[in-house]
């Protein structure tokens, strides 16, 4: 069995209990070395074999998995955050399917929720936004035109941008057009939950300058929207005058 495991955003204690158990039992660990904290490997068996996928091709990764499966070994494929978001796991799963090798996927804490927790905010405020858009700006990987950042920003929903910090100039330009304002709050969270985490707060007007000044050009979440600053309505769920299935009026 191959287990795709979400390692979480950085802090090793943010992996799931299931993920940690699998790491402890794994015979072969293939980890995404560029983003996954090496500290996770301290939980593995001493005799486990480790592969850093950063220097491997898809075919090489699959052949390590296949070899492990043939020898009845437990193979753990450790991905950063949650494997189902920008994890490039689909192509791995499809090749495993072709070879009739069974696999499972264990979710993880994604960096977008970790970043929002770091700034102590909530993406979904009742009258501000009830929608979170997860996206990226195009880089070497293209983004379908119908999902152009400017178009998505025109919904004025809460947004979390992955893989985009090295292009902050273009990001800001498109967001300004989409949101049609410059004073939209923005938070850049570099290495959320790591020891060297950095938070930069600003608006579309000044965030580019602040990010460049701080020298941040990788491994950051860009969170955008009025959920970061400003007024909001209290939720109905905890409103004393609002009763529901689990809480009847005390009167
Ligand atoms: N599957 C991962 C995302 C992988 S894509 C997840 O669910 O988080 C890699 C991008 O994720 C980076 O470019 C960065 O935008 C973001 N990222 C990953 N770890 C991060 C962290 N600890 N803090 C901020 N952003 C992070």
48-104 pLDDT per residue, tens = 999 999 999 999 999 999 999 999 999 999 999 999 999 999 999 999 999 999 999
pLDDT at res. 132: 98
Q: Where in the chain are all domains bearing CATH 3.30.950.10?
A: 111-224
- Phi and psi for 136 in degrees, rounded to 5? -150, 165
- Which residue lies with its CA nearest to atom 4 of ligand 1? 86
Closest alpha carbon to 149 in 183, 173, 132, 130: 173
3-state secondary structure (DSSP) of residue 161: strand
Pocket test for ligand 1, best of 35, 78, 117, 188 (most atoms within 8 A of CB): 35
Q: How confident is the model at residue 237 (pLDDT cuts 50, 70, 90)?
A: confident
Q: Which atom in ligand 1 lies closest to the alpha carbon of residue 193?
A: 22
| Cβ-contact 77, 66 below 8 angstroms | no
Mutate to test the pocket of ligand 1, among 37, 83, 162, 197 (most ligand atoms within 8 A of CB): 162
Which CATH code, of 1.10.760.10, 3.30.1960.10, 3.30.950.10, 3.20.20.80, is assigned to 111-224? 3.30.950.10
- Which pTM value belongs to this model? 0.95
To the nearest whole number, what is the mean pLDDT of the chain? Answer: 96
What is the average pLDDT across 221-239?
92
Q: Is the pLDDT of residue 38 over 60?
A: yes
Domain with CATH 3.40.1010.10 in the chain: 2-106
pLDDT at residue 250, rounded to an integer: 57
Specify the CATH class of 2-106 in words: alpha beta
Q: CA 71 to CA 49: how far, in whole Å?
A: 13
Q: How far is the CA of 6 from the centre of ligand 1 (A)?
A: 12
d(Cα 221, Cα 187) in Å, to the nearest integer? 8
111, 193, 196: residue to mutate for ligand 1 pocket, most atoms within 8 A of CB: 111
Tens digits of per-residue pLDDT, 122-150?
999 999 999 999 999 999 899 999 999 99
Q: Which helix (H) or strand (E) holds 138?
A: none
Measured from the Cα of 110, ligand 1's closest atom is 7
């Amino acid at each position: 069995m191959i287990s795709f495991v979400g390692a979480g955003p950085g802090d090793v204690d943010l992996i799931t209990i299931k993920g940690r158990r699998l790491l402890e039992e794994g015979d072969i660990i293939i980890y995404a070395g560029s983003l996954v904290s090496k500290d996770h490997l301290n939980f593995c068996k001493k005799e486990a074999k480790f592969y850093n996928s950063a220097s491997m091709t898809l075919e090489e990764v699959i052949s390590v998995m296949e070899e492990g499966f043939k020898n009845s070994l437990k193979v753990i494929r450790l991905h950063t955050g949650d494997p189902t978001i920008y994890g490039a796991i689909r192509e791995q799963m499809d090749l495993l399917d072709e070879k009739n090798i069974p696999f499972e996927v264990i979710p993880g804490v994604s960096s977008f929720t970790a970043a929002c927790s770091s700034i102590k905010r909530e993406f979904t405020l009742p009258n501000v936004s009830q929608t979170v858009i997860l996206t990226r700006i195009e880089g070497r990987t293209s983004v379908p035109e119908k999902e152009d950042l400017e178009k998505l920003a025109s919904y004025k929903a809460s947004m979390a941008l992955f893989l985009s910090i090295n292009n902050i100039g273009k990001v800001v330009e498109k967001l300004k057009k989409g949101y049609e304002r410059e004073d939209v709050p923005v938070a850049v969270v570099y290495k959320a939950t790591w020891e060297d985490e950095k938070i930069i707060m600003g608006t579309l007007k000044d965030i580019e300058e602040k990010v460049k000044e701080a020298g941040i050009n990788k491994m950051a979440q860009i969170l955008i929207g009025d959920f970061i600053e400003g007024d909001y309505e209290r939720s109905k769920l905890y409103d004393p005058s609002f009763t529901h299935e689990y809480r009847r009026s005390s009167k």
